[in-house]
Chain A
Amino acid sequence: MSMSSAVSNFSNMTDLLRSVITRIYAESPYLLHVLYALQRKFLHISDEAVREVAAHLDLPTSQVDAVVEFYAFFHKIPRGRYDILFSNCTSCGYMAGGVDLMAMFGRRLGIAVGKTRGDGLVSMDQTSCIGMCDHGAALLVNGMPITSLDGPMIDSIAALVEAATPLEDWPAEWFYVEGNIRVSGLLLKDDLSEGISLRAMLALGAVGSLSEIIQSGLRGRGGAGFSTGMKWQLCRDAQGAAHYVVCNADEGEPGTFKDRVLLHSYADSLFEGMTVCAFAIGAKQGYLYLRAEYRYLLSHLQSVLTRRRELGLLGVGILGQPGFSFDIDIVVGAGAYICGEESALIESLEGKRGIPRVRPPFPVTHGYLGQPTVVNNVETFIAAAHIVLRGSAWFRAVGTGKSVGSKILSISGDCAAPGIYEYPFGVTIRQVLDDCGAKDVLAVQIGGPSGTLINRAEFDRRLDFDDLSTGGSLMIFNQARDLLAVIVNFAHFFAHESCGFCTPCRVGTTLLKNGLDKIAGGHGTQYDLDEMQRIAALVKYRSHCGLGQTAANPILDGLQRFPQAFEQRLVHSDEPHFDLDAALEEARQVSHRDDTAAHIK
């Protein structure tokens, strides 16, 4: 391998570590990027690497250590040269096709989940939704997505790994990710050509541009729906040494993949929108926080930024305006759903664990580096670019009530045509289901696991901020689905992604996960169901941030709308709080026994 020869060129590992750290940090001064480079090169981040990074970046060793242990894509124990991560999402996960592809892959290569094979060739694990939900089962190999997996492909991948074939020599078409845009509305009709919105913005002036955004009634597309114009105004008015524009491209909500398509095909519109925001609030620096699962889009995004700099659309004196300078850096995350929460995202940008901040104060006054900061969703910035170009009236003409404009949906699950659909706000669920060819629908998860689970009786409800609000995920489950399995999947997701800061979410999401596992495993009683209800209510009302406050939604919605999915699994006798047989597992392993007498049935 190239690594061993590289190692021999240095007198010792310390020198090699230092050279990598120095080079990467000079290129891109972000802790997450330095740690990523080390993870890729050495397949783990050793204690020595942590110490060297801390010394070079002048950070406490404990901060670097804390960050390494927080993000799912950093490891203190070596991963394989081929690091395979199967999505565990209900739409793009390893079970999406009904067959356990991860187990199949594990059998082919003789490897267990979460482990690295003895020869160091390959490691395999599961990861939260990787945003490939319109393509069926998907995985990441060394960060590169492969979609539309099936049994034969698993065999092929296993063979390529076993033969240590370099990724460059794998079939190129495997790595191509189709956009699947099915219905285009206001924003998807075209990618704004370079500078067109910026020229409109200059004609309007900063105050005029901001006023146009305020008058448009645009609300944040991440799901919360805060007025974008008001956010920009508050930030503009806030005192600070510098103002910042941050784009939240950390779409981690299972079932969401619209940002993937927007970043791939509408990057110019996005950067126009961020630049408009910078002009309106007086920012000189912007950041695009890209989720690690979309790292494969990084070189494309960087080439768009480079071209925009060459065209005078970014950098010093944009479009010849001496007073207007603005540039954008891309910072890539490292596997943490919580970083989609805006204050956790800012913490992550600052090279820390993604722990949501105490609010107030809000990022508009105390954001990145404590300075006034606008954080908006990818789709919000794109809408802003269009509004400045076409006017607020153009935008207000579409939509309903207080939900103006369009919403871009990521539709996945049991339907004929999964993909991207853009609708005016106010569209009914029934219309959406008809358009994507969904038949025999049992339930729809609106807004991903953190959103709302609805049943057939509710298909005339509308997608807007007053009825069903959504960041864009829409997962369809038909009559053949085991809905309890879906809810169990979501409970595991939240327990895995809880940041661990506050007690109700940290402990509560794990209690919910364990309780649901017990019920799904056929060991639950009515008592357990009542407990689920009680814990879920506590987690929902008493947690620190949006993650905890929504983590119990699938359970609460499920209990309300699909009680039979739970009740049919209950046993009608008293059982202990734990699975007696499972409790013996450790003893069986220690004693190397697995015979009948070592089990309790």
Chain B
Amino acid sequence: MSADTKQNTITIDGQEIPFLAGQTIMDAALAAGVYIPHLCHRQGLTPHGSCKLCVVDIASKSVTACTMPAMAGQQISNNTPALNEARKTITQMLFIEGNHICPSCEKCGDCTLQAMAYHLGMLDGHFPQFFQRREVDASHPTVMLDRDRCILCELCVRASREVDGKNVFDIAGRGTNAHLIVNSTSGKLVDSDLETSDMAAHICPVGAILIKKSGYKVPIGQRTFDLHKVSEIGLEKTILTKVRQPDE
């Protein structure tokens, strides 16, 4: 911390939390061990603010914790029944927009969306399913792209650009036609420069980007969210470096 960094505090659900200049509400909360639900946020990547799971209220104004700068004296509501109800509805929206098959999805138990649903007490999708047709791209030898599960969080887009130093992914289309695209001449993953060791290949919070031939190495029952709550995992310091798989 530089000498001129000014330390100050915000208040989340009555708890005073220090923050450093330049931190967002999310940064300050996570550093203090206060969990604010989030899907599209990952410490170290540019905040995105699109999933809206991290909405919090300041007075009666809704703000996005991962993008809103922390400012001295903010009185923030976070873990309230009303906000968690809004978050549950947003999570249901993500479920019914895509084609999610939790029991048979190989990400089951490792999926943050699924864990978020449990965390928020979501028992069903509630809304009518959209049943959108989404393209599967199995062209890459080691990485599978199944857009059925994509929640458009753009973690892979940002990880590729900011950590891997590549630019493998982007979003095209608009509204509910928005979809993940691959930056290659054919639009297929096989013709991109994605490698198994890339952060972008591993960062997907759902079952949209999967490493092939590794789906059931960890048995169901022993997976991340079988053992930990999403509110514990969400507080972990993520180290954004390339991952080298043991079989490489």
Contact = CB atoms under 8 A, between A and B. Distances in A.
A60 interface: yes
Nearest to B97: A507
Interface centre among B52, B86, B90, B169 (most CB of A within 10 A): B52
Contacts of B104: none
B29 interface: no
A62 B175 contact: no
B178 to A, nearest CB: 3
A508 interface: yes
A70 B174 contact: yes
- Chain A: interface size category: 35 or more
Interface centre among A70, A497, A509, A514 (most CB of B within 10 A): A70
Contacts of B94: 503, 507
Interface stretch (B61-69, B196-204, B216-224, B232-240): B61-69
Contact of B170 (A51, A60, A510, A542): A60
A500 B93 contact: no
Interface string B166-188: 01011111111110011111010
A10 interface: no
B175 A498 contact: yes
B69 A63 contact: no
A503 B185 contact: no
B228 to A, nearest CB: 24
Contacts of A353: 171-172, 174
Nearest to B185: A51
Contacts of A502: 49-52
Contacts of B86: 538, 541-542
Interface in A526-547: 534-535, 538, 541-544
Given A541-B62, A578-B128, A62 B93 contact: no
Interface in B32-84: 47-52, 55, 62, 64, 67, 69
Contacts of A226: none
Contacts of A504: 52, 90, 93
Given A66-B181, A358-B49, A511-B93, A506 B175 contact: yes
B174 A500 contact: yes
Interface centre among B67, B69, B178 (most CB of A within 10 A): B178
B128 A499 contact: no
A509 B51 contact: no
A343 to B, nearest CB: 12
B130 interface: yes
Contacts of B169: 62
B45 to A, nearest CB: 13
Contacts of B183: 60-63
A360 interface: yes
B173 A500 contact: yes
B147 to A, nearest CB: 14
Contact of A503 (B47, B50, B177): B50
- Chain B: interface size category: 35 or more
Interface centre among A47, A60, A358, A509 (most CB of B within 10 A): A358
Nearest to A504: B52
B86 to A, nearest CB: 6
Contacts of B181: 62, 65-66
A85 to B, nearest CB: 17
Contacts of A402: none
B152 interface: yes
Interface in B90-131: 90, 93-94, 96-97, 127-128, 130
Nearest to A338: B174
B52 A544 contact: yes
Interface centre among B62, B167, B182 (most CB of A within 10 A): B62
A500 B171 CA distance: 10
A496 B130 CA distance: 15
B168 to A, nearest CB: 8
A336 interface: yes
A495 B170 contact: no
Contacts of A541: 62, 86
Contacts of A338: 174
A174 B19 CA distance: 64
Contacts of B167: 60, 62
Contact of A70 (B47, B173, B185): B173
A202 B205 CA distance: 58
15 contacts: A47-B187, A60-B183, A61-B183, A62-B181, A63-B170, A65-B187, A69-B174, A353-B172, A358-B47, A502-B50, A503-B90, A504-B52, A508-B93, A510-B175, A511-B127
Interface of B: 47-52, 55, 62, 64, 67, 69, 86, 89-90, 93-94, 96-97, 127-128, 130, 151-152, 167, 169-178, 181-185, 187
Closest 3 CB pairs of A and B: A500-B178, A62-B183, A62-B170
